[in-house]
Amino acid sequence: MKYKMKDFAAKHALTLGKHCVYGVFRGYHIHVKYTPIGNPRCLVTVVTDAREKQKQLEKYLDSNRQKLHISNFGVVKIGLMVCPRFTGEVFVRVETLLEEICAHLKKAGFAGAEVCPYCGQSLEGGGILATESDIPFRVHEKCFMGALASARQKDAQNAAKPDKKALGALGGTLGALFGGVLFVLTYAWWGFGALGAAAGVLLAYFLFRKFGGKASAFAVAYCGAAALLLSLAGYVFGLYMDAHAAGGGWSELFSAALADGGGRALFIVNLVLTAVFAGVGTVYNACSYRKDRRTIADKMRRLDG
């Protein structure tokens, strides 16, 4: 029988949420988010007061990557996050990973669920249940309100930063241009270049933000349109190369492509899939934008009281 998230939750008296499970595991607040098509697919969080031991914890995780079977990790003041590599059933791997990490934390003297991760002091009276980065754990009310105020201040500072749309558009154009070049190359090799549109739209959005543009509806739309147009331009150039190789020029641009049934079918497939891949990439960017719109403070909530 497959060991599912609900079985893992039932075994350890954890709470099931949307695509996640959380609660106290081996004395520590933990949170496991799993979505088969997510990026990352799985993120395991263990809450602890790590303020004075962040470097120590980073060293442990880095030196034990292979043993723990993790692809990536992060350490912050209130705990650690790891991305497991999967071999076999997901929650068998998650369970083993948590057993090993929590055992190390206990041995190394890291505080558990009985301590507020913000201040390191005992949670007399149980504290309040709250979230940071959508991870539920118990804290002192005063500590949580202080952290929330600090998060709101950071959010205000980020919102006040200028949106460098012109530079962002330059980055987006360069990303889309890469997609167009990739279209030409793959079309020259295989007669099919539509994957260039997917690469172009994703890289365009990435570079749009890297060049200083803010994640926005404009960024999503601009990158999608630029990638589609430059991929189609790449296709036109590929058709010209075919016509030139056949001894023709711009006037015979579509002659080679439409010369027979197979050529017409491939022509249609390239056009349709270029539009589809550009659309799928744009939808992915739109989902990323929606996710990015949630600020630090948006992911902090008091769950009781």
More reliable by pLDDT, 168 or 261: 168
Query: Which residues, in sequence order, are bridge partners of residue 23?
Result: 30
How far is residue 67's CA from residue 107's CA, in Å, rounded to a whole number? 17
What integer is the mean pLDDT of 190-196?
87
Contacts 24+ apart (CB under 8 A), 58-65: 60/104, 60/108
Q: What is the pTM of this model?
A: 0.76
Cα(293)–Cα(68) distance, integer angstroms = 33
Cα 164 from Cα 305, distance rounded (Å): 42
Query: Do 274 and 194 contact (CB within 8 A), yes or no?
Result: yes
- List of residues 6+ apart from 157 with CB closer than 8 A: none
Handedness of CA 112, 114, 115, 118 (dihedral sign): positive
Percent of the chain with pLDDT over 90: 67
Q: How confident is the model at residue 255 (pLDDT cuts 50, 70, 90)?
A: low
Q: d(Cα 86, Cα 3) in Å, to the nearest integer?
A: 14
Q: Is the distance from CB of 127 to CB of 140 less than 8 angstroms?
A: yes
Is it the case that residue 129 has pLDDT exceeding 60?
yes
Query: Is there a contact between 235 and 268 (Cβ–Cβ < 8 Å)?
Result: no
Q: What's the whole-number mean pLDDT along residues 140-156? A: 92
**Phi, psi (deg, nearest 5) at residue 117:** -70, -15
pLDDT in tens, 60-115: 999 999 999 999 999 999 999 999 987 778 899 999 999 999 999 999 999 999 99
